[in-house]
A and B are shown apart, each in its own frame.
Chain A
Amino acid sequence: MSEEITMKKIDTFAEHGDGNQPHETHLSIRDFSLFYGDFEAVRKVNMDIPKKMVTAMIGPSGCGKSTLLRSINRMNDLIPSTSAAGEINFEGHNIYARNIDVVTLRARVGMVFQKPNVFPKSIFDNVAYGPRLQGMRNKQELSEIVEQSLRQAAIWDEVKDRLQANALGMSGGQQQRLCIARALAIKPEILLMDEPTSALDPKATALIEDLIGELRQNYTIVIVTHNMQQAARVSDLTAFMYEGVLVEFGKTKQLFTNPANPQTENYITGRFG
């Protein structure tokens, strides 16, 4: 019976989402908790995020999705009074270990934020920011990587004639794709996206979703969304979180059509959240 109800709401699943072959684990999260002061926003989460797949995180607002996502590249360090417990292992190294260089970590784990946050600089300089940071000075190389990144982010054709224009002059959807291009330019292995389409119109959203489908061939993607349709459309795996706890984590199609946990089912069928 539950299947009928959920199927009414979700009609499209990721085309790519049913490979049965085992995937290498890229990130393994072990008993990970994150505290804002005394408040435990993420509670003892265990999760294995596979390589070159799209993992979606869903759950009601305030359940800790963003917090968990931002823990993966330690962006929470910016907020005073946060503390972490447990481990997040990235290729066998705990990123919360003492000897980890946060700057290198962030260069390997790119991030796209909820609101497009382009710099008030030219389109070119926005994309070239990361490579320059890594010491690339050669104009030729820079141009190449900028073009490549913009092509990957499916925005090259729209901006190739005005690379020197200020990025703030672009539309919201274009800005968000520019942010993706900027994140890709540092050649990360993992791409974190925190509700990347929530500030965009449906057309721009569709473009970005297509883009995610393309990018999954080369990158491990973790995307937070409160839009279940979106999670179903783009992801291979879905995690459902509730009040800081990881309630259920599994293949997207299975989670949506046949959830193991009644809380998940309630959420998916829209009985709360």
Chain B
Amino acid sequence: MRLETRKLLDKAFSGLGLISIAVMAIALLLILTPIVWRGSKAFIFKGTIEHRRVMLELFDRGNPEKFNQESADAAAARAPVYQMMEAFEAEMKAMDRKKRKEYKAPFREVENALEELLGPMPGQRTPVLLRQRYGQTRWDRALVKLHETLYSEEWDYSNADAMGVLVEKPRVDFFTGTELEPLFQYLEDYLPEMMQPKTTFYYQFITDKSKDSHIFGGIWPEVLGTIYLTIGAMIFAIPMGVIAAIYLCEYAKEGRIISFIRICISTLAGVPSIVFGLFGLAFFLNTIQVSDSKSVLAGSLTLSLLILPTIIRSSEEAILAVPRAYKEASLGLGASRWHTVLTVILPAAMPGILTGIVISMGRAAGETAPIIFTAAVSVGAPLKIWETLSQPTPALPWNIYNLCTEHEAVDEIRHVQYGMVFTLVAIVLLLNLAAILMRARISKKLRG
């Protein structure tokens, strides 16, 4: 090959490498930016007076005096709203039956929208559902609800050949000339006074229990469940995996059976995770019945099977990479085989083994399919340690899926979803970062 051609090829090759790295970096950025941006809104947002009311009443957090002061201000700003409504009700009473009937339903709609925005009316009985006892806790949601109060939505089907068209009609048009007419302008003008928005740093989002299936509060049961499942999977997978790797590298005699075992391990690594989930259900729950219902224990066992091949393989590679000379030195000094493994081979292989372990920890934390049938439920309290043996738990990956497919008020709690995604990604990234740091530290120590 001519020199120029070779140079050109070299350049082309490094160019391609750079491009692929750039593409990867951009992809990572495109994925991570929205996760971080939206996820951070679960923690930092404009919270209304209602958020602080929730915090005070449900979580016993905040300064009651300051809250009462703010609450009084908000109540003062809200008072004209309720006065106007009372005045309109009186006006309605004075109307003839037909007209009253005409106004009744639209007024009811306004009332409902206002209850969602501001919380229950003064003097109303405490509603049964927790979510109805408070107004909007987040300013962005308050603006949405305000819009719903100001405009009614109707579908226009006049063109029979096309799909219906959504038409927004200002409600004020309906009430022109009544006592209620000024209400709408007032709401638009005085919403901040009524809601008292304030930038809020709600870092307890991670450690708070959720109230009324995630309408209020945080994601602690999910976070804790994920931690339990991950640690549980590690408790089973690490000893099994490392011991298996030691056996395969140091003790097993190469032969048909060992090749067969190796093939099995490789195959296991490629099995889809949902299959592990079904296996976990069939074996751990139905056959050997480690617990009466889904449980953290069953989920951990299933996850440990999922990550076992990864741990075995990375440990095997790490052990095989330990220089033969170390082994010879140790045996030459009269060490037995297992002593050599414990004191020389394992310490030297530790960086590689740890990396494998932490990477599979990330995997175990993020897997959904294996825990669907074996461990996860959508709503639950944080578990005590001993309860993990028999109780199911919410967990981040499953609940992310569950919130966006099955929650009855998906739109109200988008921030919780993103907060969960953010937390899960953060946990996995932190684990990987820890792996890198740990690896660097140990190999530095080994290198001297």
Contact = CB atoms under 8 A, between A and B. Distances in A.
Contacts of B331: 75, 78, 106
Interface string A159-185: 000000111110000000001001100
A120 B333 contact: no
A107 B336 CA distance: 11
Nearest to A74: B331
Nearest to A168: B448
B252 to A, nearest CB: 11
Contacts of B332: 73, 75, 106, 110-111, 113, 183
Interface residues of B, number: 24
Contact of A166 (B329, B347, B445): B445
Interface string A111-125: 101010111110000
B164 interface: no
A120 B447 contact: yes
Interface in B122-173: none
A133 B330 CA distance: 10
A165 B332 CA distance: 23
B348 A133 contact: no
A138 to B, nearest CB: 19
Contacts of B325: 113, 115, 117
B64 interface: no
B168 to A, nearest CB: 72
A105 B326 CA distance: 19
A97 interface: no
Interface string A229-244: 0000000000000000
A107 B325 CA distance: 17
A119 B329 contact: yes
B10 interface: no
B334 to A, nearest CB: 3
Contacts of A129: 330, 333, 335, 343
A113 B99 CA distance: 107
B322 to A, nearest CB: 10
Interface residues of A, number: 32
A120 B253 CA distance: 28
Given A80-B253, A117-B325, A183 B447 contact: no
Contacts, number: 76
A1 interface: no
Contacts of B327: 78
B344 interface: yes
Nearest to B448: A166
Contacts of A78: 327-328, 331
B15 to A, nearest CB: 39
B326 A117 contact: yes
Contact of A119 (B254, B326, B336, B339): B326
Given A75-B328, A119-B344, A120-B348, A130 B448 contact: no
Contacts of B448: 120, 165-169
A134 B447 CA distance: 27
Interface string B315-358: 00000000101111111111110010001100110000000000
Chain B CB within 10 A, most for which of A78, A80, A119, A169: A119
A113 B334 contact: no
A78 B251 CA distance: 11
Given A120-B448, A166-B445, A168-B447, A130 B334 contact: yes
Contacts of A121: 347
A186 interface: yes
Nearest to B335: A133
Contacts of A118: 329
B32 interface: no
A233 B111 CA distance: 108
Interface in B245-298: 253-254
B339 A133 contact: yes
Contacts of B254: 80
A182 B333 CA distance: 8
B328 A103 contact: no
B19 interface: no
A104 interface: yes
Contact of B334 (A103, A168, A169): A103
A75 B328 CA distance: 8
A183 B330 CA distance: 10
B447 A166 contact: yes
- Among B330, B332, B348, the most chain A Cβ lie within 10 Å of the Cβ of B332
Nearest to A111: B332
A73 B339 CA distance: 18
Interface in A85-119: 103-108, 110-111, 113, 115, 117-119
B437 interface: no
A73 B333 CA distance: 10
Given A120-B446, A120-B447, A165-B448, A133 B334 contact: yes
Contacts of A169: 448
A171 to B, nearest CB: 12
A133 B332 CA distance: 12
B334 A186 contact: yes
B328 A104 contact: no
A103 B329 contact: no
A113 B329 CA distance: 8
Nearest to B327: A78
A136 to B, nearest CB: 13
Contacts of A106: 331-334
A195 to B, nearest CB: 14
Interface in B225-252: none
B333 A110 contact: yes
Interface in A211-234: none
B177 to A, nearest CB: 90
Contacts of B333: 106-107, 110, 129-130, 133, 182-183, 186
A169 B347 CA distance: 18
B331 to A, nearest CB: 7
Given A117-B326, A119-B330, A183-B332, 15 more contacts: A73-B332, A75-B328, A75-B332, A103-B334, A103-B335, A106-B332, A106-B333, A107-B333, A113-B328, A113-B329, A117-B328, A118-B329, A120-B347, A133-B334, A169-B448
16 contacts: A75-B331, A106-B332, A106-B334, A108-B334, A117-B323, A117-B325, A118-B329, A119-B348, A120-B347, A129-B333, A129-B335, A134-B334, A166-B446, A169-B448, A183-B332, A183-B333
